[in-house]
Amino acid sequence: MHQRTTPPTGSASPTGRRRLARKALIAAASALGVATALMTPVRAGAAPAPAAPAAATPLAANGQLSVCGRQLCNASGQPVALNGMSTHGTQWYAQCVTGGSLDALAEDWRADVLRVSTYVQEDGYETDPAGFTARAQKFVDAAHARGMYAVIDWHMLDPGDPNANLSRAKTFFTAMAKKYKNHPGVLYEIANEPSGVSWSAVKSYAEKIIPVIRAEDPDGVVLVGTRAWSSFGVSEGANESEVVNNPVRASNIMYTFHFYAASHRDEYLRTLDRASDKLPVFVTEFGTQNYAGEGANDFTMSQRYLDLMKRKKISWTNWNYSDDHRSGAVFKTGTCDGSTWTGTGVLKEAGVWIRERIRQ
């Protein structure tokens, strides 16, 4: 999976009541369009022009999400599949997450969701917990302001044992859940890519972190990483049966799966198919390239994954919404230094391809 452990080349390194409150937020968002229309003046003697109804944003249309059976469901209990993008590490590419870029993601790309990736190590959260918490909240708020959901990604990578950062994770998710406990637009991804540890160790971690979130936000969907870089164990010789036979003891959760199509072939595709027959699955990261998010794109294999996910209503976010030099970054290098975000002229080949599929 995405196993890079060095900074990107050439990049700078710096830079009850709760349910009612959630419903009120959605109602306010829906009412805003009506109020705006009512306040628009009409010239005397002119027939009012027929207003084209604005499409409801994904957040306004679907409201509070929950897990029903093996599906992600909206506030009406109907299965939904969110499609969108993941940021790169916000310690490196915060300049790619701007008002303009998120306007483009919401309006030009028509995305449903933004995954906000807070790296724990690699000059990330551990260097400035308060600063990176505030940065994550800024980007989550910006997604919400544009009617998109936000996945709060605790991007642990190396060390691969999520328990190594247990104390930090508790602090981070306490702050995030406290802020968003009354908001319907968040999902909590508690461990990006565990590796080199058993499923029982990952499960133990999840069963310590989920109560921390639930103490503040009893309704938010929690996304649990699986072992071997969230491959359900396949990258370390196992398979989904270890999760099926020993699931996390918690409700309203989903399990994550990551793939990179040029590296992860039929065995991984079959695993996703089998696992999603028995477990709720959210693909929080994938690429059309190799496991490092670079090299040639394999759009044929990628489409096979997307066809499966569409058929089974599996939500996904693609890696990544930045101008990193690697082929997996959707923007051409240098785009984030400018102000043009829409259309295909600023996109690499992978960006053109994934934008088209999000727009479908």
The 10s digit of each residue's pLDDT in 152-174 is 999 999 999 999 999 999 999 99
Number of H helices, E strands in the chain: 12, 10
Contact 313/73 with Cβ under 8 angstroms?
A: no
Interval 40-65: pLDDT, tens: 333 333 344 444 446 799 999 999 99
Judged against a pLDDT cut of 90, whether residue 144 lies above it is answered with yes
Task: Give residue 55's pLDDT.
Answer: 76
Task: Give residue 2's pLDDT.
Answer: 52
More confident residue, 35 or 83: 83
The C-alpha atoms of residue 127 and residue 192 are separated, in whole angstroms, by 19
173 membership: H or E segment, kind and range: helix 166-180
More confident residue, 29 or 321: 321
Interval 194-206: pLDDT, tens: 999 999 999 999 9
Task: Give residue 8's pLDDT.
Answer: 54
Which residues on adjacent β-strands are paired with residue 331?
347
The C-alpha atoms of residue 26 and residue 78 are separated, in whole angstroms, by 17
Q: Looking at residue 7, what DSSP letter applies?
A: P
Binned at pLDDT 50, 70 and 90, residue 349 comes out as very high
Mean pLDDT for all residues in the chain: 89
Q: Residue 340 has which token pair?
A: 């043009």
Interval 127-138: pLDDT, tens: 999 999 999 999
Quick one: what percent of the chain has pLDDT higher than 70?
Answer: 85
Task: Give residue 138's pLDDT.
Answer: 98
The C-alpha atoms of residue 125 and residue 233 are separated, in whole angstroms, by 27
Calculate mean pLDDT across residues 204-211: 98
**Catalytic positions:** 193, 285
